[in-house]
């Protein structure tokens, strides 16, 4: 398994489980591939080192409304989700539509470690080491047709296993979408693990999207359907409040959410009185992804 580092992130920046994150392992990976990784470029200069989080903090402080709206509800309730067997339907404008078993997908994909920043629209952040594969490789497996412009995603909807579905907070199932060029960008991955283990249910088992330059809600969890389409697909939070949650949802410190300033963020694990830190444009990945939005008004296309 290859190790890929993004930008300036160091082992001290990882929101990590200390038993897994050891210096020899990380430095061996960094020496083998270089700090920039295959996508190339330096993301941004970190203003300070981050305090590492425990496994418990990372796996209990998250949003997964299918299991409840509290930060600890997913960890309390997600054990009810059956993740094996698991099938992902890939359909729409593809050459080989069908139901793809998770085990068959894993046999064909190349897994890597990716250490990424995670920025929530609620203005908190973490740094997470994911295991996964590039979404582009999965799309290649299905064969994207020429007219496809967007990729739509859908989360599992199992009322017997997901108690949060009884709440009308969103229209279920949870859906998300990317422009095709965003989806096939080398930074965009489908994550299957975290901290060297299988990804926990509350973090999106067995397969979730990770798009590190966008707010966390774009990284849809427990994916059961991927559709290649020509028109921009609906997305759950944009459908709920289009004036608050745009389709793109790129991390942008200059465009505030109506309820939260996006200029700064609170690092989980930094302590109750830890100072907030500045949020970088595109969550620090501008060098890699800014060209995707050349000429666009990012305040209008938020």
Binding site for Mo-molybdopterin, by residue number, is 62, 65-66, 120, 155, 203, 208, 219-221
CB 170 within 8 A of CB 249: no
The separation between CA 155 and the C-alpha centre of its own chain, rounded to angstroms, equals 13
Strand ranges for 162-283 from DSSP E:
175-179, 189-194, 197-198, 208-210, 223-229, 264-267, 277-278
- Tell how strand 98-101 and strand 87-92 pair up: antiparallel
How far is residue 125's CA from residue 261's CA, in Å, rounded to a whole number? 14
β partners of residue 112: 2, 132
Q: CB neighbours of 202 closer than 8 A, spacing ≥ 6?
A: 59, 60, 62, 64, 67, 74, 75, 78
Give me 294's structure tokens: 């050349």
How far is residue 224's CA from residue 207's CA, in Å, rounded to a whole number? 9
How much is the CA Rg of the chain, to the nearest whole Å?
Answer: 18
CB 99 within 8 A of CB 88: yes
Question: Residues marked as binding?
Answer: 62, 65-66, 120, 155, 203, 208, 219-221
Strand ranges for the chain from DSSP E:
2-5, 87-92, 98-101, 112-119, 124-134, 150-155, 175-179, 189-194, 197-198, 208-210, 223-229, 264-267, 277-278
Give me 10's structure tokens: 């160091």
């Amino acid at each position: 398994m290859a190790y890929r580092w993004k930008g300036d992130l160091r082992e001290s920046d990882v929101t990590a489980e200390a038993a897994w994150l050891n210096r020899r392992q990380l430095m061996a990976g960094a020496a083998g591939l270089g700090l920039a990784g295959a996508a190339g470029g330096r993301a941004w200069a970190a203003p300070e080192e981050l305090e590492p989080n425990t496994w418990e903090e990372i796996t209990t402080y998250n949003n997964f409304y299918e299991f409840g709206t509290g930060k600890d509800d997913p960890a309390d309730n997600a054990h009810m989700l059956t993740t094996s067997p698991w099938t992902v339907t890939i359909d729409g404008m593809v050459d080989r539509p069908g139901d793809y078993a998770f085990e068959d997908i894993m046999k064909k994909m190349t897994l890597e470690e990716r250490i990424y920043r995670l920025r929530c629209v609620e203005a908190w952040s973490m740094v997470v080491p994911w295991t996964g594969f590039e979404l582009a490789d999965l799309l290649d497996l299905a064969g994207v047709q020429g007219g496809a412009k967007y990729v739509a995603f859908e989360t599992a909807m199992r009322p017997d296993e997901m108690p949060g579905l009884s709440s009308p907070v969103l229209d279920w199932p949870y859906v998300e979408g990317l422009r095709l060029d965003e989806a096939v960008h080398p930074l965009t991955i489908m994550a299957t693990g975290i901290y060297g283990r299988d990804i926990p249910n509350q973090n999106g088992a067995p397969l979730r999207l990770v798009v590190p330059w966008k707010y966390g809600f774009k990284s849809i969890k427990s994916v059961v359907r991927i559709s290649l389409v020509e028109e921009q697909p609906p997305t759950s939070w944009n459908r709920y409040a289009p004036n608050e949650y745009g389709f793109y949802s790129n991390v942008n410190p200059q465009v505030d959410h109506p309820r939260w300033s996006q200029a700064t963020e609170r690092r989980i694990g930094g302590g109750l009185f830890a100072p907030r830190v500045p949020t970088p444009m595109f969550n620090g990945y501008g060098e890699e992804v800014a060209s995707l939005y050349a000429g666009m008004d990012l305040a209008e296309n938020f």
